[in-house]
Structure 1
Amino acid sequence: MERQKFIILTLNEECYAIPIDYIHSIERTQPVTRIPNTEGFVKGVINLRGIITPVIDLRERMGFEAKPLDEVSRIIITNRSQESIGLIVDGADDVIEINNDDIEPPPETISENYRDYIEGVIKHEQRLIVLLSLEHVFEADFVKQHHV
Protein backbone atom coordinates (compact mmCIF):
# COMPACT_ATOMS: atom_id res chain seq x y z
CA MET A 1 0.00 0.00 0.00
CA GLU A 2 1.44 3.35 -1.05
CA ARG A 3 1.91 6.00 1.63
CA GLN A 4 2.51 9.75 1.39
CA LYS A 5 3.67 12.41 3.83
CA PHE A 6 1.84 15.71 4.23
CA ILE A 7 2.43 18.98 6.08
CA ILE A 8 -0.65 19.90 8.09
CA LEU A 9 -1.42 23.61 8.21
CA THR A 10 -4.23 25.63 9.68
CA LEU A 11 -6.33 28.27 7.97
CA ASN A 12 -9.42 29.82 9.47
CA GLU A 13 -9.29 27.23 12.31
CA GLU A 14 -9.47 24.30 9.86
CA CYS A 15 -6.81 21.72 8.94
CA TYR A 16 -5.40 21.50 5.43
CA ALA A 17 -2.65 19.34 3.95
CA ILE A 18 0.03 19.82 1.31
CA PRO A 19 2.20 16.93 0.08
CA ILE A 20 5.62 17.22 1.67
CA ASP A 21 7.22 16.81 -1.78
CA TYR A 22 6.12 20.39 -2.58
CA ILE A 23 7.62 21.90 0.58
CA HIS A 24 11.08 23.45 0.67
CA SER A 25 10.90 24.90 4.20
CA ILE A 26 8.64 26.40 6.84
CA GLU A 27 9.68 29.86 7.99
CA ARG A 28 8.65 32.28 10.69
CA THR A 29 6.97 35.37 9.31
CA GLN A 30 9.21 38.22 8.26
CA PRO A 31 8.79 41.64 6.66
CA VAL A 32 7.36 41.44 3.14
CA THR A 33 8.16 44.04 0.48
CA ARG A 34 4.90 45.00 -1.23
CA ILE A 35 4.72 44.91 -5.04
CA PRO A 36 2.34 47.48 -6.59
CA ASN A 37 -0.50 46.50 -8.94
CA THR A 38 -0.83 42.89 -7.76
CA GLU A 39 -3.86 40.97 -6.51
CA GLY A 40 -4.71 41.66 -2.85
CA PHE A 41 -3.67 38.18 -1.73
CA VAL A 42 -0.18 38.69 -3.23
CA LYS A 43 1.60 40.21 -0.26
CA GLY A 44 4.89 40.91 -2.03
CA VAL A 45 8.35 39.37 -1.87
CA ILE A 46 10.82 38.32 0.81
CA ASN A 47 14.58 37.84 0.67
CA LEU A 48 15.00 34.26 1.81
CA ARG A 49 18.70 33.50 2.20
CA GLY A 50 19.51 35.55 -0.89
CA ILE A 51 16.60 34.31 -3.01
CA ILE A 52 13.78 36.72 -3.79
CA THR A 53 10.59 34.76 -3.12
CA PRO A 54 7.01 35.91 -3.88
CA VAL A 55 4.58 35.50 -0.98
CA ILE A 56 0.81 35.06 -1.06
CA ASP A 57 -1.64 34.98 1.82
CA LEU A 58 -3.37 31.60 1.51
CA ARG A 59 -6.29 32.76 3.69
CA GLU A 60 -7.09 35.59 1.29
CA ARG A 61 -6.33 33.46 -1.77
CA MET A 62 -9.03 31.04 -0.67
CA GLY A 63 -11.53 33.80 0.05
CA PHE A 64 -11.25 33.87 3.84
CA GLU A 65 -11.11 37.12 5.78
CA ALA A 66 -7.61 38.57 6.28
CA LYS A 67 -6.07 38.08 9.71
CA PRO A 68 -3.09 39.83 11.29
CA LEU A 69 0.04 37.71 11.55
CA ASP A 70 0.94 36.40 15.00
CA GLU A 71 3.60 34.24 16.66
CA VAL A 72 2.17 31.00 15.21
CA SER A 73 1.76 32.31 11.65
CA ARG A 74 4.19 30.73 9.20
CA ILE A 75 5.38 31.10 5.63
CA ILE A 76 5.51 27.74 3.87
CA ILE A 77 8.06 27.89 1.08
CA THR A 78 6.89 25.69 -1.77
CA ASN A 79 8.71 24.58 -4.90
CA ARG A 80 6.75 24.83 -8.13
CA SER A 81 8.45 24.28 -11.49
CA GLN A 82 11.84 25.57 -10.31
CA GLU A 83 10.18 28.59 -8.65
CA SER A 84 9.76 29.10 -4.92
CA ILE A 85 6.53 30.66 -3.67
CA GLY A 86 5.75 31.45 -0.04
CA LEU A 87 2.32 30.76 1.44
CA ILE A 88 1.31 32.65 4.58
CA VAL A 89 -0.74 30.33 6.80
CA ASP A 90 -2.19 30.59 10.30
CA GLY A 91 0.07 27.77 11.49
CA ALA A 92 2.01 24.72 10.33
CA ASP A 93 3.31 22.27 12.85
CA ASP A 94 2.54 18.70 11.96
CA VAL A 95 3.62 16.04 9.47
CA ILE A 96 1.47 12.98 8.88
CA GLU A 97 1.97 9.88 6.79
CA ILE A 98 -1.14 8.28 5.36
CA ASN A 99 -2.16 5.53 2.97
CA ASN A 100 -3.34 6.71 -0.45
CA ASP A 101 -6.55 4.75 0.25
CA ASP A 102 -7.33 7.28 3.01
CA ILE A 103 -7.70 10.09 0.44
CA GLU A 104 -11.23 10.55 -0.86
CA PRO A 105 -12.41 12.84 -3.67
CA PRO A 106 -13.84 16.21 -2.62
CA PRO A 107 -17.55 16.10 -1.74
CA GLU A 108 -19.88 17.25 -4.51
CA THR A 109 -21.61 19.60 -2.06
CA ILE A 110 -18.59 21.92 -1.88
CA SER A 111 -19.21 25.17 -3.76
CA GLU A 112 -17.47 25.50 -7.12
CA ASN A 113 -15.41 28.44 -5.86
CA TYR A 114 -13.66 26.13 -3.39
CA ARG A 115 -13.82 22.79 -5.22
CA ASP A 116 -10.98 23.78 -7.56
CA TYR A 117 -8.66 24.33 -4.57
CA ILE A 118 -9.36 20.88 -3.14
CA GLU A 119 -7.70 17.73 -4.38
CA GLY A 120 -9.37 15.50 -1.82
CA VAL A 121 -10.19 14.86 1.81
CA ILE A 122 -7.93 12.83 4.10
CA LYS A 123 -9.37 10.70 6.89
CA HIS A 124 -6.81 10.71 9.71
CA GLU A 125 -7.30 9.83 13.39
CA GLN A 126 -10.97 10.74 13.69
CA ARG A 127 -10.61 13.98 11.75
CA LEU A 128 -10.97 15.12 8.18
CA ILE A 129 -8.19 17.16 6.58
CA VAL A 130 -8.63 19.00 3.29
CA LEU A 131 -5.92 18.20 0.74
CA LEU A 132 -5.10 21.39 -1.17
CA SER A 133 -4.48 21.49 -4.92
CA LEU A 134 -1.45 23.77 -5.15
CA GLU A 135 -1.72 23.90 -8.93
CA HIS A 136 -5.04 25.73 -8.59
CA VAL A 137 -3.83 27.89 -5.74
CA PHE A 138 -1.04 29.19 -8.00
CA GLU A 139 -2.90 29.23 -11.31
CA ALA A 140 -3.10 32.79 -12.69
CA ASP A 141 -6.00 32.06 -15.07
CA PHE A 142 -8.03 30.75 -12.17
CA VAL A 143 -7.37 34.00 -10.31
CA LYS A 144 -8.63 36.12 -13.23
CA GLN A 145 -11.58 33.81 -13.89
CA HIS A 146 -12.82 33.96 -10.29
CA HIS A 147 -11.72 37.53 -9.51
CA VAL A 148 -10.22 36.34 -6.26
Structure 2
Amino acid sequence: MSARCTFHIGPFYFGIPVEAVQEVLRGQTLTPVPLAPPAVKGLLNLRGDIVTVIDLRETLGIPHTGAGSPPLHVLVRDRGEVVSLCVDRIGEVAEAEDSLFESPPETLQGTARELIRGAYKLSDRLLLVLDVSKAMETAERGSSAGSSSTGGLTCE
Protein backbone atom coordinates (compact mmCIF):
# COMPACT_ATOMS: atom_id res chain seq x y z
CA MET A 1 0.00 0.00 0.00
CA SER A 2 1.31 3.46 -0.93
CA ALA A 3 0.57 6.68 0.95
CA ARG A 4 0.36 9.87 -1.12
CA CYS A 5 0.04 13.49 -0.04
CA THR A 6 -2.65 14.82 -2.35
CA PHE A 7 -3.36 18.27 -3.76
CA HIS A 8 -5.49 19.96 -6.38
CA ILE A 9 -4.51 22.16 -9.30
CA GLY A 10 -7.63 23.29 -11.09
CA PRO A 11 -9.82 20.24 -11.72
CA PHE A 12 -6.93 17.80 -11.37
CA TYR A 13 -6.08 15.67 -8.34
CA PHE A 14 -2.40 14.85 -7.81
CA GLY A 15 -0.38 12.84 -5.34
CA ILE A 16 3.26 12.61 -4.36
CA PRO A 17 4.93 10.22 -1.92
CA VAL A 18 4.12 11.39 1.59
CA GLU A 19 7.73 10.88 2.69
CA ALA A 20 8.86 13.54 0.16
CA VAL A 21 6.75 16.27 1.80
CA GLN A 22 8.52 18.44 4.34
CA GLU A 23 5.69 20.88 5.13
CA VAL A 24 2.84 22.94 3.68
CA LEU A 25 2.81 26.75 3.87
CA ARG A 26 0.41 29.48 2.83
CA GLY A 27 0.74 33.20 2.21
CA GLN A 28 4.47 33.40 1.56
CA THR A 29 6.21 36.47 0.16
CA LEU A 30 8.12 35.60 -2.99
CA THR A 31 11.16 37.30 -4.45
CA PRO A 32 11.05 37.33 -8.26
CA VAL A 33 14.05 35.94 -10.16
CA PRO A 34 14.94 37.99 -13.25
CA LEU A 35 15.32 35.95 -16.46
CA ALA A 36 14.15 32.76 -14.74
CA PRO A 37 12.11 30.22 -16.72
CA PRO A 38 8.33 30.89 -16.59
CA ALA A 39 7.72 27.94 -14.25
CA VAL A 40 10.09 29.35 -11.62
CA LYS A 41 7.72 31.65 -9.79
CA GLY A 42 10.36 33.07 -7.46
CA LEU A 43 12.23 32.37 -4.26
CA LEU A 44 11.03 32.21 -0.68
CA ASN A 45 12.96 32.52 2.53
CA LEU A 46 12.27 29.51 4.74
CA ARG A 47 13.83 30.24 8.12
CA GLY A 48 17.03 31.46 6.45
CA ASP A 49 17.10 28.88 3.66
CA ILE A 50 16.33 30.02 0.11
CA VAL A 51 13.76 27.79 -1.62
CA THR A 52 12.88 27.80 -5.33
CA VAL A 53 9.13 28.07 -5.97
CA ILE A 54 7.82 26.07 -8.94
CA ASP A 55 4.50 26.95 -10.58
CA LEU A 56 3.02 23.52 -11.33
CA ARG A 57 0.28 25.09 -13.46
CA GLU A 58 2.96 26.42 -15.80
CA THR A 59 4.99 23.21 -15.69
CA LEU A 60 1.98 20.99 -16.45
CA GLY A 61 0.37 23.34 -18.96
CA ILE A 62 -2.76 23.95 -16.86
CA PRO A 63 -4.19 27.39 -17.73
CA HIS A 64 -4.19 30.05 -15.02
CA THR A 65 -7.72 31.06 -14.07
CA GLY A 66 -7.02 34.61 -12.95
CA ALA A 67 -7.41 35.97 -9.45
CA GLY A 68 -8.19 33.39 -6.83
CA SER A 69 -6.89 32.29 -3.49
CA PRO A 70 -3.13 32.62 -3.04
CA PRO A 71 -1.41 29.32 -3.79
CA LEU A 72 -0.33 26.93 -1.11
CA HIS A 73 3.29 25.85 -1.04
CA VAL A 74 4.02 22.14 -0.69
CA LEU A 75 7.67 21.94 0.30
CA VAL A 76 9.21 18.75 -0.97
CA ARG A 77 12.67 17.28 -0.61
CA ASP A 78 14.12 15.59 -3.67
CA ARG A 79 17.75 14.50 -4.01
CA GLY A 80 18.75 16.65 -1.04
CA GLU A 81 17.13 19.82 -2.40
CA VAL A 82 14.00 21.48 -1.01
CA VAL A 83 11.63 23.16 -3.46
CA SER A 84 8.14 24.60 -3.15
CA LEU A 85 5.39 23.34 -5.44
CA CYS A 86 2.54 25.86 -5.86
CA VAL A 87 -0.86 24.16 -5.61
CA ASP A 88 -4.46 25.40 -5.37
CA ARG A 89 -5.64 23.22 -2.49
CA ILE A 90 -4.12 20.58 -0.29
CA GLY A 91 -5.95 17.28 -0.02
CA GLU A 92 -5.51 14.43 2.38
CA VAL A 93 -3.11 11.55 2.71
CA ALA A 94 -4.56 8.95 0.37
CA GLU A 95 -3.62 5.31 0.60
CA ALA A 96 -4.04 3.06 -2.41
CA GLU A 97 -3.19 -0.55 -3.11
CA ASP A 98 -0.10 -0.86 -5.29
CA SER A 99 -2.04 -3.28 -7.51
CA LEU A 100 -4.34 -0.38 -8.53
CA PHE A 101 -1.44 1.65 -9.97
CA GLU A 102 -1.71 2.08 -13.74
CA SER A 103 0.25 3.71 -16.55
CA PRO A 104 -0.43 7.39 -17.23
CA PRO A 105 -3.78 7.96 -18.95
CA GLU A 106 -3.68 8.01 -22.76
CA THR A 107 -5.24 11.48 -22.72
CA LEU A 108 -2.01 12.94 -21.30
CA GLN A 109 0.27 14.23 -24.01
CA GLY A 110 3.58 16.00 -24.43
CA THR A 111 5.55 17.05 -21.39
CA ALA A 112 2.59 16.45 -19.06
CA ARG A 113 2.74 12.73 -19.90
CA GLU A 114 6.44 12.65 -18.96
CA LEU A 115 5.74 14.27 -15.58
CA ILE A 116 3.03 11.84 -14.48
CA ARG A 117 4.36 8.48 -13.27
CA GLY A 118 0.95 6.87 -13.39
CA ALA A 119 -2.49 6.96 -11.82
CA TYR A 120 -4.70 5.28 -9.28
CA LYS A 121 -8.38 4.84 -10.09
CA LEU A 122 -10.08 5.67 -6.82
CA SER A 123 -13.78 5.16 -6.20
CA ASP A 124 -14.69 8.76 -7.05
CA ARG A 125 -11.77 10.17 -9.09
CA LEU A 126 -8.40 9.64 -10.69
CA LEU A 127 -5.25 10.31 -8.63
CA LEU A 128 -2.37 11.37 -10.90
CA VAL A 129 1.04 10.58 -9.39
CA LEU A 130 3.47 13.42 -10.08
CA ASP A 131 7.16 12.68 -10.67
CA VAL A 132 8.68 15.41 -8.47
CA SER A 133 12.21 15.00 -9.88
CA LYS A 134 11.06 15.39 -13.47
CA ALA A 135 8.80 18.34 -12.58
CA MET A 136 11.77 20.10 -10.97
CA GLU A 137 14.02 19.42 -13.97
CA THR A 138 11.36 20.58 -16.44
CA ALA A 139 10.69 23.81 -14.53
CA GLU A 140 14.37 24.63 -14.18
CA ARG A 141 15.23 24.06 -17.84
CA GLY A 142 12.35 26.27 -18.89
CA SER A 143 10.15 23.88 -20.82
CA SER A 144 6.58 23.16 -19.87
CA ALA A 145 3.67 21.10 -21.05
CA GLY A 146 1.98 24.28 -22.20
CA SER A 147 4.90 25.13 -24.49
CA SER A 148 4.75 21.76 -26.19
CA SER A 149 3.04 21.51 -29.54
CA THR A 150 0.89 18.72 -28.15
CA GLY A 151 -0.29 20.75 -25.16
CA GLY A 152 -0.66 19.96 -21.50
CA LEU A 153 -3.35 18.61 -19.23
CA THR A 154 -6.89 19.14 -20.36
CA CYS A 155 -10.11 18.26 -18.62
CA GLU A 156 -12.16 16.02 -20.92
Band the TM-score falls in, shorter-chain normalisation: 0.7 to 0.9
Tell me the CA shift for residue 140 of structure 1. Answer: 4.5
For 2:143 and 2:58, how far apart are their aligned partners in 1? 16
Q: Please, which of 35, 38, 43 is the counterpart of residue 36 of structure 2?
A: 38
1:114 aligns with 2:109: no
Q: Please, which of 89, 92, 117 is the counterpart of residue 94 of structure 1?
A: 92
Output the amino acid matched with 2:117: E
Q: Output the TM-score relative to the length of structure 1.
A: 0.87
Identity rate, percent: 28
For 1:129 and 1:135, how far apart are their aligned partners in 2? 18
- 3-state SS of paired residue (1:96): strand
- 3-state SS of paired residue (1:8): strand
Q: Output the TM-score relative to the length of structure 2.
A: 0.83
Taking the TM superposition and a 5 Å limit, the aligned residue runs for 1:51-130 are 51-66=49-64, 67-68=66-67, 70=69, 73-130=71-128
Q: Does the CA-based 8 Å contact 2:39-2:142 persist in structure 1?
A: no
Tell me the CA shift for residue 124 of structure 1. Answer: 1.8
**Compared CA separation, residues 128 and 111, structure 1 to 2 (3 A):** same
For 1:16 and 1:138, how far apart are their aligned partners in 2? 15
Output the amino acid matched with 1:79: R
5+ residue gaps, structure 1, are: none
Q: How many residues align?
A: 145
Q: Does the CA-based 8 Å contact 2:38-2:142 persist in structure 1?
A: no
5+ residue gaps, structure 2, are: 148-156
- 3-state SS of paired residue (1:115): helix
Task: Compare the two structures and name the one with the higher strand fraction.
Answer: 1
**Compared CA separation, residues 123 and 57, structure 1 to 2 (3 A):** same
For 1:15 and 1:80, how far apart are their aligned partners in 2? 21
CA RMSD of aligned residues (A): 2.1
